[in-house]
Structure 1
Amino acid sequence: MKKSALINAELSYIVATLGHTDEITICDAGLPVPDETQRIDLALIPGVPAFIDTVKAVLGEMQIEGIVLAEEFLHVSPDHHHALIELIRNEEELCGKSINISYVSHEEFKVHTQNSKAVIRTGECTPYANVIFQSGVVF
């Protein structure tokens, strides 16, 4: 469910059309995108846009109630993982609701992306910098 304005038309549209529990994925430059899933490709050059910047933009627009991460993200890219979890904790404070955090293997994560209404590809080149957002409601 949409929360505020976002400049990118494709991103704004996909968020506006989400229903409760629908999912979108924000991923690094290398995550495979299933053929049947809408791809919103924001990648320009390595690192642009960054994963965390894209997460911030989407969190400003989308109410979430859960996230799914690959277990490998925590161990291989701990700085990015920590930055993401900090954003999620801040989001919990802003919306006054807890956000469920689930971990699966990277292989399971890739399969799970098939459930996403869209995959948003960033220019991020940090291993496992991927997240699935599960849509919540603002009420």
Structure 2
Amino acid sequence: MLKGIPSILSPELLKVLMEMGHGDEIVIADGNFPAVSHTNRLLRSDGHGVPELLEALLTLFPLDTYSEQPVALMDVVPGDTVETPIWRTYEQIIGKHITPAIEHVERFAFYERAKKAYAIVATSEKALYANIILKKGVISE
């Protein structure tokens, strides 16, 4: 254990976050996301939801301030009547770090982008359309 590191962040996830460079992306996936088939670098965070993981991750992970939209969400499929209150939670969490600039990506385009991400973190999140992509920024201090 280390001081100041949120305990929800596993050693494997911390290693991946350290390996990532400016512009690399990481996916935090909900429980329905086909994570195994979309990456060669899968990290498990079973038993946890996306908001709690996002909150902890952003204490260490700088979002890309050079990108217009350093955060991407899987957009709701047209015609689907699902509500997405979790998105407001994401905006609040992200807003503690930067002004939220969030892109909405069509479902299959999101899958393709996820395949190119540095890693995918699979959670047990039950909310629908709870998948989120974060683009890593730089440490300027």
Distance 1:78 1:117, change over 3 A: same
Alignment gaps of 5+ in structure 2? 65-69
Number of residues of Structure 1 aligned to a counterpart in Structure 2:
126
The CA distance in 1 between the partners of 2:34 and 2:56, in whole Å, is: 22
* Contact in 1 for aligned 2:26/2:120 (Cα 8 Å): yes
Choose from 7, 15, 23 the match for 2:17: 15
| Map of 1:59 onto structure 2 | 58
Secondary structure (helix, strand or coil) at the match of 1:82 reads: helix
| Map of 2:91 onto structure 1 | 85
Name the structure with the higher helix share.
1
How many percent of aligned residue pairs carry the same amino acid? 21
Moved more, 99-108 or 16-25: 99-108
1:28-78 C-alpha deviation (Å, 9 max, x unpaired): 0110123543110111xxxx21110011111112111211111219x7342
Listed as ranges, the matches of 1:94-105 within 5 Å are: 98=99, 100-105=101-106
* TM-score normalised according to structure 1 size: 0.82
Alignment gaps of 5+ in structure 1? 93-97
Secondary structure (helix, strand or coil) at the match of 1:5 reads: coil
| Map of 2:67 onto structure 1 | none
Secondary structure (helix, strand or coil) at the match of 2:28 reads: strand
For residue 99 of structure 1, report the CA deviation from its aligned partner: 5.2
Q: What one-letter code is carried by the residue in structure 1 that aligns with 2:74?
A: A
* TM-score normalised according to structure 2 size: 0.81
| Map of 1:126 onto structure 2 | 127
Q: What one-letter code is carried by the residue in structure 1 that aligns with 2:135?
A: Q
